[in-house]
Amino acid sequence: MTAATDVDRQAPSTPTRPVARTWSRDAVETQVFRVLRWVVIAFLLVITLFPFYYMVLLSLRPLDEVVQDPGALWVGPSEVILDSYDSVLAGADEGGQGFLQFMRNSAVVAFSTVALTLLVAIPGAYAVSRLQFFGRRQISGLFLAVYLFPSILLAVPLFVFFTRIGLRGSLVGLLIVYVSQIVAVSIYMLRNYFDTIPVSLEEAAAIDGCSRIGIMRRISLPLALPAIMANALFVFMIAWNEFLFALLFLVEERSRWTVSLGLSQLAGSIEIPTTVLMAGSVFVTLPIIIIFFASERLLTEGLTAGAEKG
């Protein structure tokens, strides 16, 4: 028995075949989705950035070259000209379109709308979120219902009313209309975010002797900063791009036109070259992009992660 065992131990072992690598379903799906993720991201970037790129490209090309080859997707540095931008920014007395004045008017109206809307919406949203009173839930739904009314239904009454009080044709009247239209949905949006802030943080501050205003200023507002900035961007985009009420209130006062009115004038005139129209479109789009990237850091600050111990 012992000899046989020794012989078996000394016998050379047969080589084993390498085990073929098998792909599990989970591994295959992980690899496929890893590739598809970048494909989808690239596709979304192309369809998002390409219109803006083509718009800028057309604004930098001479009109005769655009007519000869409108589908060109690249131009050399020697072919780039800024005549369209000069024509858009120059005043009407200089033969231009006066977009510099239009942008100044839009900036005044848009930033004033943001400031006044937040001044009303922040305390209103905080009150609806934290204070207990009769009809609290119904008021929240009413704020959203007000925003759902089409603006065209209010256009004629507001036009008649502001004409009689002498505010038609002024930026102040337009500002009042914008704030009254946007403040309801701003309160609704901010109220939903205030609801996510832990009440225990405010209770702890109240125990330490902080007043209601102090709690709001030191606890709630810093934590709600991302929502406030997102709401401010939302309000700014509406006020910057709004056209209907700007047309009704300011059409007779060219010196008070906003960029939306100026752009509609460029688009509705057959005498305006396409390159000038694209330059005006760049001036309408660019401020929103700049403000978004400038405030991107503030959109991610003030989150409540780690603010409460479990």
CATH no. for residue 161? 1.10.3720.10
Is 270 strand, coil or helix?
Answer: coil
pLDDT tens digits, 225-240? 888 988 999 999 999 9
Q: Classify residue 7: in a domain, yes or no.
A: no
pLDDT tens digits, 152-210? 888 888 888 988 988 888 899 999 999 988 998 898 888 888 888 888 888 888 888 88
Q: Classify residue 84: in a domain, yes or no.
A: no
User: Does 84 or 144 have the greater pLDDT score?
Assistant: 84
Q: Which of the four pLDDT bands, split at 50, 70 and 90, describes residue 305?
A: very low
User: Residue 81: phi, psi to the nearest 5?
Assistant: -130, 155
pLDDT of residue 19 exceeding 90, the answer is no
Element (H, E) at 65: helix 63-68
Q: Compute the C-alpha angle 137/149/145, nearest 5°.
A: 5
Record the tokens describing residue 163, joined without a space. Answer: 């004409």
Q: Supply the pLDDT for residue 95.
A: 74
Number of structural domains in the chain: 1
Q: Classify residue 57: in a domain, yes or no.
A: no
pLDDT of residue 30 exceeding 90, the answer is no
Mean pLDDT of the chain: 82
Position 182: which residue type?
Answer: I
Rounded distance between C-alpha atoms, residue 138 and residue 293, angstroms: 37
Q: Classify residue 149: in a domain, yes or no.
A: yes
Q: Classify residue 201: in a domain, yes or no.
A: yes
pTM beyond 0.75: the answer is yes
Element (H, E) at 16: none
Which residues, other chains included, contact 135 with Cβ-Cβ below 8 Å and sequence gap of 6+? none
Q: Classify residue 140: in a domain, yes or no.
A: yes
Instruction: Give percent of the chain above pLDDT 70.
Output: 88
Packing angle, helices 225-241 and 171-194, rounded to 10: 150
Q: Supply the pLDDT for residue 14.
A: 53
Rounded distance between C-alpha atoms, residue 198 and residue 212, angstroms: 15
Domain limits at 181?
101-276+289-299
How many residues are present in the chain?
310
Q: Classify residue 219: in a domain, yes or no.
A: yes
Dihedral over alpha carbons 208, 211, 216, 222 (to 10 degrees): -40
User: Which stretch of 8-22, 45-59, 163-177, 242-256 has the lowest confidence by average pLDDT?
Assistant: 8-22
- The count of other CB atoms within 10 Å of the CB of residue 80 is 12
Q: Classify residue 225: in a domain, yes or no.
A: yes
Record the tokens describing residue 257, joined without a space. Answer: 């036109």
State CA 125 to chain mean position distance: 21
